[in-house]
């Protein structure tokens, strides 16, 4: 179970936060300890040196490749590294939290905590949390929660995405769904947070399958600038309003989340650049056990991130 995600501490707390940054810089500038590892942009604290190295290298790799996927260009180096505190144990629930502070268009005071099995940290938690840092660096302002968490879930392992889908069906059938006009307006997590993740994940997938990741980022850029999400949906996805988006999306979920027609999917090449869909291990796709396998069973671009990870670490995802 994911234990939490990003927190930005808001504009009002900037003064306090900047003090915290100064205090934090001193500690993060200390030499790495036995279980520490420093890369260009991350400072990892993990139970063993080998794990710290693996996590740091993977974080750096994700930061590069996911920035290309989402933005089309790598991120510049951060002025201070993002500390990562990792708890790694075979049966630890997978989860992560990343926090930072926005101030006058800059991002400060990164902290990331992650936990889970080594495998799940490397194939789900880390790409999820690193995507939060990419979005924060790019947008430099808070995103609607559904769009942020939804996007981050799309880079997780298929097992995690299948879990979100199972939860989605449960929420939609037990009156825990969130009306889209409410969901689009949420800048904070609701008390009942899991439906937000499940719906955000599903809607992000729907949009990305149709327009690719670059269009998703362009859509968010427009919506943030105007705060007129209906116009942004119309412009980028041809859906005239947030309410209409809910209706289109619900119909799609009821149909089992079918892949878009090839002609539409072909318009979304941005997510496929540089990834090979054929290298993703020999083990059967774990998603096959999910309630709507055709739906979640990944299109090439949705497995590609894990293909890259498997190739890099020389391990395959679990069966
Ligand atoms: Zn998150």
pLDDT digits (tens, 9 = 90+) for 24-36: 223 333 334 448 9
- Do 177 and 109 lie in one domain? The reply is no
Is residue 319 assigned to a domain? no
Say how many Å lie between the CA of residue 48 and the centre of ligand 1. 25
- 257: tokens are 């989340």
- Do 151 and 176 lie in one domain? The reply is yes
Is residue 36 assigned to a domain? yes
Is residue 152 assigned to a domain? yes
pLDDT at 180 over 60: yes
- Domain edge (last residue) among 139, 158, 192: 139
* pLDDT level of residue 104 (50, 70, 90 thresholds): confident
CA distance linking residue 218 with residue 251, whole number of Å? 25
pLDDT at 305 over 70: no
CA distance linking residue 106 with residue 110, whole number of Å? 11
- Do 130 and 219 lie in one domain? The reply is no
Say how many Å lie between the CA of residue 147 and the centre of ligand 1. 10
Helical (H) or strand (E) element with 44:
strand 42-45
Is residue 318 assigned to a domain? no
Compute the 3-state secondary structure of the chain and give helix, strand, coil in percent, each to the nearest 5: 55, 10, 30
Average pLDDT, the chain: 78
Nearest to 121 by CA among 64, 42, 51: 51
- Do 124 and 179 lie in one domain? The reply is no
Which range among 40-44, 217-221, 277-281, 315-319 shows the weakest confidence by mean pLDDT?
Answer: 277-281
Is residue 1 assigned to a domain? no
Residues 6+ positions from 38 with CB-CB distance below 8 Å: 32, 44, 56, 81
Which range among 1-5, 268-272, 298-302 shows the weakest confidence by mean pLDDT?
Answer: 298-302
pLDDT at 9 over 90: no
Say how many Å lie between the CA of residue 211 and the centre of ligand 1. 22
- Do 175 and 298 lie in one domain? The reply is yes
- 307 φ, ψ to 5°? -60, -45
- Do 159 and 39 lie in one domain? The reply is no
Say how many Å lie between the CA of residue 302 and the centre of ligand 1. 18
In terms of pLDDT, which residue wins out, 179 or 318?
A: 179
Is residue 48 assigned to a domain? yes
The CA-based angle 124-216-273, given to 5 degrees, is 70
**Domain total in the chain:** 2
Tally of CB atoms within 10 A around 227: 11
> Model's pTM, two decimal places?
0.76
Residue 17's pLDDT is what? Answer: 27
Say how many Å lie between the CA of residue 119 and the centre of ligand 1. 18
- Domain edge (last residue) among 115, 139, 163: 139
- Do 92 and 225 lie in one domain? The reply is no
- Do 189 and 101 lie in one domain? The reply is no
Nearest to 94 by CA among 118, 62, 78: 118
- Domain hosting 299: range is 145-313
Say how many Å lie between the CA of residue 148 and the centre of ligand 1. 7
- CB crowding 235-264: b at 16 or more within 10 Å, else e: ebbebeebeebbeebeebbeeebeebeeee
Say how many Å lie between the CA of residue 262 and the centre of ligand 1. 30
- Do 246 and 110 lie in one domain? The reply is no
- Do 243 and 289 lie in one domain? The reply is yes
- Domain edge (last residue) among 119, 139, 159: 139
Say how many Å lie between the CA of residue 268 and the centre of ligand 1. 24
Is residue 285 assigned to a domain? yes
Say how many Å lie between the CA of residue 128 and the centre of ligand 1. 6
The mean per-residue pLDDT over the stretch 148-160 comes to 95
Tally of CB atoms within 10 A around 21: 17
Per-chain residues with Cβ under 5 A from ion ligand 1: 5, 149, 152
Q: Are residues 86 and 44 in contact, defined by beta-carbon separation less than 8 angstroms?
A: yes
Region at 226 (left for phi over 0; alpha for psi -120 to 50; beta for the rest): alpha
Which range among 73-77, 205-209, 308-312 shows the weakest confidence by mean pLDDT?
Answer: 308-312
Say how many Å lie between the CA of residue 97 and the centre of ligand 1. 7
Q: Are residues 115 and 121 in contact, defined by beta-carbon separation less than 8 angstroms?
A: yes
- Do 58 and 121 lie in one domain? The reply is yes
- Do 289 and 155 lie in one domain? The reply is yes
């Amino acid at each position: 179970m994911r234990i939490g995600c990003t927190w930005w501490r808001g504009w009002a707390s900037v003064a306090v936060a900047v003090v915290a940054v100064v205090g934090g810089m001193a500690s993060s500038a200390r030499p790495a300890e036995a279980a520490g590892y420093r890369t260009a942009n991350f400072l990892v604290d993990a139970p063993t040196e080998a794990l710290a190295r693996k996590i740091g290298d993977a974080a750096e790799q994700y930061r590069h490749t996911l920035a290309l996927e989402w933005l089309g260009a790598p991120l510049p180096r951060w002025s201070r590294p993002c500390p990562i505190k990792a708890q790694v144990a075979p049966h630890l629930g997978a989860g992560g939290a990343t926090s930072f502070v926005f101030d006058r268009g800059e991002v400060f005071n990164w902290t990331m905590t992650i936990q889970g099995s080594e495998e799940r940290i490397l194939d789900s938690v880390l790409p999820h949390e690193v995507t939060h840092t990419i979005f924060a660096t790019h947008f430099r302002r808070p995103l609607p929660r559904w769009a942020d968490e939804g996007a981050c879930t799309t880079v997780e392992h298929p097992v995690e995405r299948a879990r979100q889908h199972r939860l989605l069906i449960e929420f939609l059938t037990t009156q825990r769904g969130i009306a889209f006009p409410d969901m689009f307006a949420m800048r904070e997590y609701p008390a009942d947070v899991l439906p937000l993740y499940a719906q955000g994940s599903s809607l992000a997938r729907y949009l990305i399958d149709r327009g690719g990741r670059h269009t998703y980022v362009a859509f968010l850029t427009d919506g943030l600038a105007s705060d007129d999400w209906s116009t942004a949906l119309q412009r980028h996805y041809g859906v005239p309003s947030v309410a209409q988006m809910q209706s289109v999306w619900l119909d799609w979920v009821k149909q089992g989340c079918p892949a878009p027609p090839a002609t539409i999917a072909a318009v979304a090449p941005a997510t496929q650049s540089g990834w090979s869909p054929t290298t993703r291990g020999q083990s059967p796709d774990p998603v096959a056990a999910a309630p709507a396998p055709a739906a979640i069973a990944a299109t090439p671009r949705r497995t590609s991130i894990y293909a890259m990870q498997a190739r890099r670490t020389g391990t395959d995802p679990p069966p």
